[in-house]
């Protein structure tokens, strides 16, 4: 028996479901927080079976470290928790990122302000603070561990893991 075309409601619902969703994590130099967030979020997406439906990347608001790997301390702490970020390389934010990605996730308020200021018309609503995905923590920023000690890197990773879980729930909703 031939299948019937979807009803208008089913057709509209299917149109609203996205086949792919892009997430860009943004910090200052793209060597500590944002590559860690990229690695954690990629791992969570893979565990959820969504790697083929989510595009994940990270970048910095400054270009001082372009082409460099993540800070060795970030790599070490991430590795200890099962995340390998050693292959990532720092890159600078591009204007095209605002069109390419569905969500630009700022690791702190300064990054959110920079993104909002640089956002082309109609893209500012894509900018979100990462910690907004862990509202139970009542924090707005992931502190930069760069000038800190081991505890600073562990704390940043703790926050990133919590917010990444909330973000994944949001992306699942967007994907339908």
Q: Break the chain into its structural domains and give their ranges.
A: 19-175
pLDDT in tens, the chain (176 residues): 333 334 344 444 444 456 899 999 999 999 999 999 999 999 999 999 999 999 999 999 999 999 999 999 999 999 999 999 999 999 999 999 999 999 999 999 999 999 999 999 999 999 999 999 999 999 999 999 999 999 999 999 999 999 999 999 999 999 98
DSSP code string of 18-81: -S-EEEEEEESSSSSHHHHHHHHHHHHHHHTT-TTTEEEEEEESS-TTTTPPPPHHHHHHHHHT
Question: Which residue is catalytic, options 53, 63, 73, 144?
Answer: 144
Instruction: Respond yes or no: is residue 33 known to be catalytic.
Output: yes
Report the pLDDT value the prediction gives residue 19, as an integer from 0 to 100: 86
Say if CB 24 and CB 59 are below 8 A apart: yes
Q: Give the orientation angle of helix 33-47 with respect to helix 150-175, to 10 degrees.
A: 50
CATH 3.40.50.2300 fits 19-175, yes or no: yes
Instruction: Respond yes or no: is residue 27 known to be catalytic.
Output: yes
Question: Which residue is catalytic, options 33, 42, 91, 162?
Answer: 33
Question: Which residue is catalytic, options 27, 32, 59, 75?
Answer: 27
Report the pLDDT value the prediction gives residue 161, as an integer from 0 to 100: 98
Instruction: Respond yes or no: is residue 144 known to be catalytic.
Output: yes
């Amino acid at each position: 028996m031939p299948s019937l075309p979807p009803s208008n409601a089913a057709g509209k619902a299917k149109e609203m479901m996205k086949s792919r969703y892009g997430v860009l994590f943004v910090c200052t130099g793209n060597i500590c927080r944002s590559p860690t967030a990229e690695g954690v979020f990629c791992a969570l997406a893979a565990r959820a079976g969504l790697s083929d439906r989510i595009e994940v990347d990270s970048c910095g608001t400054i270009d001082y470290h372009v082409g460099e790997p993540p800070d060795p301390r970030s790599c070490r702490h991430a590795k200890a928790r099962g995340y390998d970020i050693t292959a990532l390389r720092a890159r600078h934010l591009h204007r095209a990122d605002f069109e390419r990605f569905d969500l630009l996730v700022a690791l702190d308020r300064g990054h959110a302000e920079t993104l909002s200021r640089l956002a082309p018309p109609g893209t500012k609503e894509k900018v979100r603070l990462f910690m907004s995905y862990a509202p139970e923590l009542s924090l707005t920023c992931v502190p930069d561990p760069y000038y800190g000690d081991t505890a600073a890197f562990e704390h940043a990773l703790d926050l990133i893991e919590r917010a990444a879980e909330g973000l994944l729930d949001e992306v699942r909703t967007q994907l339908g």
